[in-house]
Structure 1
Amino acid sequence: MIALLLALGSSLAYGCADFLGGLGARKAHVLRTVMVAAPASLAFELLMWPVLGASFAPSALGWGAASGVASAAAFALLYKTLAIGPMNVLSPMTALVSAALPVAVGLAQGDRLGLAGLLGLPLALVAVVLVSAGHGAGSSRPSRGALLMALGAGAAIALQLVCLHQAPSDSGVAPLIVGRAVSSAVTLAAAATLRGRLGPEKPAYAVSAAAGVLDSLANLLFLLAVRDGDLAVVAVITALYPAGTVLLARSVLAERIHKGQLVGLGTAAVAVSLLALT
Structure 2
Amino acid sequence: MAILFALGSAFFYGVADFVGGLLSRWADPTTIALIGQFGALLLSLAAAPFFPAPSVELADLIWGAVSGIGTGMGMVFLYRGLSHGSMSVVVPFVAVGGTALPVLIGVTVLGDRPTVPAWLGIVLAIPALWLISVTKNGPQGSRAAGTLDALFSSIGIALQYIALAQAGAEAGLWPIVAGRVAAALAILPLARPSSAKLRGIGTRTVLAAALTGGMAALALTLYMLAAQLQLMSIAVVLSSLYPVLPVVLGITVLGERLTVRQLVGLLSAGAAVGLITWS
* TM-score category, normalised to shorter length: over 0.9
Q: In structure 2, what is the equivalent of residue 85 of structure 1?
A: 85
Distance verdict in 2 for CA 1:95–1:259, change over 3 Å: same
Letter in 2 for 1:98: G
**Contact kept in structure 2, 1:63 and 1:167, CA below 8 Å:** yes
Distance verdict in 2 for CA 1:165–1:271, change over 3 Å: same
**Contact kept in structure 1, 2:86 and 2:143, CA below 8 Å:** no
Residue 202 in 1 paired to residue 204 in 2? Answer: no
Give 1:119 deviation, angstroms: 1.1
Q: In structure 2, what is the equivalent of residue 219 of structure 1?
A: 220
Give 1:267 deviation, angstroms: 0.3
Letter in 1 for 2:129: V
Q: In structure 2, what is the equivalent of residue 31 of structure 1?
A: 30
Q: In structure 2, what is the equivalent of residue 67 of structure 1?
A: 67
**Contact kept in structure 1, 2:69 and 2:179, CA below 8 Å:** yes
Residue 40 in 1 paired to residue 47 in 2? Answer: no
**Contact kept in structure 1, 2:39 and 2:214, CA below 8 Å:** yes
- Any idea what the Cα deviations from partners look like across 1:203-235, whole Å, max 9, x if unmatched? 413321221111011100000000000111111
- Any idea what the Cα deviations from partners look like across 1:149-195, whole Å, max 9, x if unmatched? 1111111100011000111221111110001011113323432x556
**Contact kept in structure 2, 1:23 and 1:207, CA below 8 Å:** no
Unaligned runs of 5+ in 1: none
Unaligned runs of 5+ in 2: none
Give 1:141 deviation, angstroms: 5.5
SS in 2 for 1:256: coil
Distance verdict in 2 for CA 1:196–1:205, change over 3 Å: closer
* Percent of matched pairs sharing the same residue: 34
Q: Aligned pair count? A: 275
Distance of 1:271 and 1:107 partners within structure 2: 18
TM-score, normalised on structure 1?
A: 0.92
Letter in 1 for 2:274: S
Letter in 2 for 1:214: M
**Contact kept in structure 2, 1:127 and 1:264, CA below 8 Å:** yes
Distance verdict in 2 for CA 1:230–1:88, change over 3 Å: same
Q: In structure 2, what is the equivalent of residue 153 of structure 1?
A: 153
Q: In structure 1, what is the equivalent of residue 106 of structure 2?
A: 106
TM-score, normalised on structure 2?
A: 0.92
Q: In structure 2, what is the equivalent of residue 52 of structure 1?
A: 51
**Contact kept in structure 1, 2:132 and 2:244, CA below 8 Å:** yes
Give 1:143 deviation, angstroms: 4.9
SS in 2 for 1:79: helix
Distance of 1:194 and 1:82 partners within structure 2: 16
Give 1:242 deviation, angstroms: 0.6
SS in 2 for 1:151: helix
C-alpha RMSD of matched pairs (Å): 1.8
